[in-house]
């Protein structure tokens, strides 16, 4: 059913949230959907507020949403309807779990009434189960959650001692419960909808991915969803990054969702479309070039669609007058024009995009949710000193992003995924690489997988304090480290010193952040800062210093880049395309289509860049270009010229 549903839609869709609320006129609503059609948009999302449809007698009057659905149908636009029960204070983010059993029953009644009313409307595409699940690891202190947590703890007793005989002092009960709790409640909503409407899509959009990722069990969600989505608002969700790195953050966000989706289609369900004045952590107004850059980043990652938040601004509340693609007079802004021109380019090049899929990556950057749990567990109050950035909350994912960033500057794309999402069942891993950047807590259940990966020919790169803890937060480096034969040695000593400094690692002077470590090479007995080890048919590089975040923090990326390209050379030689040399501030996405490749090259550099590709192919078509200075980018032969802040999309054959 899933694949049949998507077979009819062969191009990535561009759309927007239409915010429906009392006080709007027929003329306004009709104008908004007409504007969407003018922009080539084929899909929208509507929050189905119970608060705006509940009658005094307890019944529901869906007039506001009937009008919007009819306007969508008149303009050939499909609707993702977000179930939005009435909860106190839910005007922006919405609820995550019921407050008590009575509230749960009320949500069920509203959901049944809503789904029954709209399930036969021609404009309905699917249901968004809940808006932005995820509570940043904080369990709601409410009767409903407290009761289920108590039941869970009774069913999941903790052993008094670890398998190695140490006292079991850190159980991660709340974290493990929340992981299952999110899955259980989403599955419950899905089951409730399916009883009434078995035929439409079921979707959910995750948010604040770099913080909430530890409570998302995506492989389990695949059992009841037909597509997976993400909210990706740079001003709201990318607090670990400055504005010049928002494209890297967007690309990494997409990689995480794509990995989590597995074989399911995935969407950018919310993408920032307009200005923030008061309603964001880092308020700013995106430029048309940024709008296009983020949209094409998603397209280059294989998204089935990008839905901007939002087409029109809400009239009242915390986001009043903000986020909109349209201007204050309801006309197309420069941002809307950028979205429109992108949709036109997609349609014009449908012969290419109808068969396009993300190019296969040979390099996987893996994280573990337990690393985020452990990182949070060891925080000591408000440690905001930037000289200790690597040990604050967020250090784990910043290390992932640092590694991803430096590879992309070389035109080398890596995937990002949770360790449980990797395919550990291959007969051979020759030509593949796994990178573990700063993953401080790796459960022992993955040790055999990692051993098998290297033994069967894989390349493993271990950076920072990866493996420091197991799932019980037991330090594994003391005594007999179980993977010492695979990694080629053991930790002798770890030195922590705040800030950044330059040290010599393997013949190169590199900047490291916080940690320097002394390794004991099992073969030679030497004390080293890096070990290269051969195990089975594979190889391992182990650098227990934080070289990724050190390079990003200091801006001294060149030597770290050289080191990584040396380590990856046998693998990168098999890539169909990469940069001839590192180009700072440049991001790239690759799509494979029937006749060749599509590249999305975007710049956050301050000056024009000329990017030369190492490939046997040549540019055959310039698909799309946008630049803040209005000067179009160029793509010819094996070169792409991209201006500061610009995006260039090209077809290679």
Give yes or no on whether 2-348 and 363-572 have one common fold.
no
Which whole number is the average pLDDT over 15-25?
Answer: 97
What pLDDT is stored for residue 5 in this prediction? 60
User: What is the DSSP secondary structure assignment for residue 546, as one 8-state letter?
Assistant: B
Is the pLDDT assigned to residue 2 strictly greater than 50? no
Which two structure tokens, joined as six digits, stand for 12?
């990535």
What pLDDT is stored for residue 31 in this prediction? 96
Confidence of residue 58 (pLDDT cuts 50, 70, 90): confident
The pTM assigned to this predicted structure is: 0.97
Which whole number is the average pLDDT over 7-20?
Answer: 85
What pLDDT is stored for residue 550 in this prediction? 97
- Read off the pLDDT of residues 66-119 as tens digits, 9 standing for 90 and up: 999 999 999 999 999 999 998 765 567 788 999 999 999 999 999 999 999 999
200 sits in which H/E element: none
The answer to whether the beta carbons of residues 179 and 370 sit under 8 Å apart is no
What pLDDT is stored for residue 380 in this prediction? 86
The overall average pLDDT reported for the chain is: 95
Q: Which of 364-378, 472-486, 533-547 has the lowest mean pLDDT?
A: 472-486
Which whole number is the average pLDDT over 271-275?
Answer: 97
Q: Minimal CA–CA distance to 130: which of 90, 176, 174, 177?
A: 90
Which two structure tokens, joined as six digits, stand for 74?
């008149």
What pLDDT is stored for residue 1 in this prediction? 40
- Read off the pLDDT of residues 604-640 as tens digits, 9 standing for 90 and up: 999 999 999 999 999 999 999 999 999 999 999 999 9
3-state secondary structure 143-191: HHHHHHHHHHHHHCCCCCECCCCCECCCCCHHHHHHHHHHHHHHHHHHH
165: left (phi over 0), alpha (psi -120 to 50) or beta: left
Strands 266-272 and 538-543: unpaired
- Read off the pLDDT of residues 454-465 as tens digits, 9 standing for 90 and up: 999 999 999 999
What pLDDT is stored for residue 6 in this prediction? 62
Which two structure tokens, joined as six digits, stand for 60?
């529901």
Is the pLDDT assigned to residue 4 strictly greater than 90? no
- Read off the pLDDT of residues 404-416 as tens digits, 9 standing for 90 and up: 999 999 999 999 9
Is the pLDDT assigned to residue 245 strictly greater than 60? yes
- Looking at domain 363-572, its CATH architecture is 3-Layer(aba) Sandwich (3.40)
Compute CA distances 31 → 36, 40, 343, 377, 443, whole Å.
9, 14, 19, 51, 55
Is the pLDDT assigned to residue 8 strictly greater than 80? no
The answer to whether the beta carbons of residues 414 and 403 sit under 8 Å apart is yes
Distance of CA 105 to the CA centre of its chain: 33
Compute CA distances 411 → 220, 407, 493, whole Å.
33, 7, 36
In the CATH scheme, what is the code of domain 583-652? 2.60.40.1180
Provide the residue ranges of all domains of the chain, joining segments of one domain with +: 2-348, 363-572, 583-652
Class of 2-348 in CATH: alpha beta
Which whole number is the average pLDDT over 348-371?
Answer: 96
- Read off the pLDDT of residues 513-532 as tens digits, 9 standing for 90 and up: 999 999 999 999 999 999 99
DSSP string, 245-311: GHHHHHHHHHHHHHHHHTTS-EEEEEEE-S--SSSSSS-----HHHHHHHHHHHHHTT-SEEEEE-S
- Read off the pLDDT of residues 431-480 as tens digits, 9 standing for 90 and up: 999 999 999 999 999 999 999 999 999 999 999 999 999 999 999 998 78
């Amino acid at each position: 059913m899933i694949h049949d549903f998507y077979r009819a839609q062969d191009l990535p869709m561009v759309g927007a949230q239409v915010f429906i609320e009392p006080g709007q006129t027929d003329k306004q609503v009709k104008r908004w959907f007409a504007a969407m059609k003018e922009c080539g948009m084929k899909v929208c999302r509507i929050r189905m507020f119970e608060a705006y449809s509940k009658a005094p007698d307890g019944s529901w009057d869906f007039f506001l949403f009937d009008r919007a659905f009819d306007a969508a149908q008149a303009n050939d636009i499909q609707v993702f309807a977000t179930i939005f029960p009435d909860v106190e204070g839910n005007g922006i983010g919405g609820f995550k779990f019921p407050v008590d059993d009575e509230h749960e029953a009320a949500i069920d009644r509203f959901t049944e009434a809503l789904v029954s009313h709209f399930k036969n409307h021609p404009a309905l595409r699917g249901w968004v189960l809940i808006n932005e699940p995820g509570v940043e690891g904080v369990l709601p202190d409410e009767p409903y959650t407290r009761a289920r947590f108590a039941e869970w703890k009774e069913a999941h007793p903790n052993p008094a001692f670890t398998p190695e005989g140490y006292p079991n002092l850190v159980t991660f009960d709340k974290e493990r419960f929340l992981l299952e709790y999110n899955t259980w409640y989403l599955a419950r909503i899905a089951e409730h909808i399916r009883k009434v409407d078995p035929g439409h899509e079921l979707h959910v959009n995750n948010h604040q991915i770099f913080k909430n990722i530890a409570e998302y069990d995506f492989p389990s969600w695949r059992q009841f969803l037909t597509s997976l989505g993400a909210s990706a608002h740079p001003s709201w969700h990318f607090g670990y990054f400055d504005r010049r790195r928002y494209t890297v953050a967007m690309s990494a966000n997409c990689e995480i969702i794509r990995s989590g989706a597995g074989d399911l289609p995935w969407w950018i369900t919310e993408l920032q479309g307009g200005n923030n004045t008061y309603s964001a952590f880092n308020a700013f107004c995106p430029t048309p070039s940024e709008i296009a850059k983020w949209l094409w980043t998603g397209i280059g990652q294989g998204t089935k669609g990008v839905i901007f938040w939002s087409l029109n601004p809400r009239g009242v509340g915390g986001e009043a007058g903000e986020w909109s693609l349209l201007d204050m007079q309801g006309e197309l802004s420069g941002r809307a024009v950028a979205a429109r021109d992108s949709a036109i380019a997609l349609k014009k090049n449908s012969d290419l995009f109808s068969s396009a899929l993300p190019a296969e990556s040979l390099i996987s950057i893996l994280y573990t949710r337990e690393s985020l749990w452990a990182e949070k567990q060891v925080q000591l109050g408000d440690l905001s000193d930037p000289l200790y950035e690597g040990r604050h909350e967020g250090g784990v994912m910043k290390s992932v992003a640092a590694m991803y960033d430096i590879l992309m500057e070389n035109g080398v794309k890596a995937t990002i995924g949770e360790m449980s999402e990797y395919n550990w069942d291959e007969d051979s891993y020759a030509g593949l690489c796994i990178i573990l950047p700063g993953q401080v807590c790796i459960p022992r259940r993955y040790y055999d997988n990692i051993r098998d990966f290297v033994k069967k020919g894989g390349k493993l790169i271990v950076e920072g304090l990866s493996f420091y803890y197991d799932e019980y937060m037991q330090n594994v480096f003391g005594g007999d480290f179980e993977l010492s034969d695979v990694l080629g040695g053991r930790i002798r000593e770890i030195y922590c010193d705040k800030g950044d400094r330059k040290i010599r690692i393997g013949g190169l002077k590199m900047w490291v952040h916080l940690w320097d470590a002394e390794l004991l090479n099992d073969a030679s007995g030497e004390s080293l800062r890096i070990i290269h080890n051969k195990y089975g048919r594979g190889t391992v590089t182990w650098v227990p210093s934080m070289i990724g975040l050190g390079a990003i923090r200091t801006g001294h990326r060149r030597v770290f880049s050289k080191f990584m390209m040396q380590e990856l050379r046998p693998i990168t030689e098999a890539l169909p395309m990469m940069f001839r040399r590192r180009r700072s501030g440049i991001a790239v996405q690759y799509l494979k289509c029937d006749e060749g490749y599509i590249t999305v090259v975007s710049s956050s550099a301050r000056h024009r860049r000329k990017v030369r590709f190492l490939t046997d192919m040549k540019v055959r078509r310039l698909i799309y270009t946008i630049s803040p200075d209005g000067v179009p980018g160029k793509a010819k032969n094996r070169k792409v010229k991209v201006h500061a802040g610009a995006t260039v999309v090209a077809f290679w054959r």
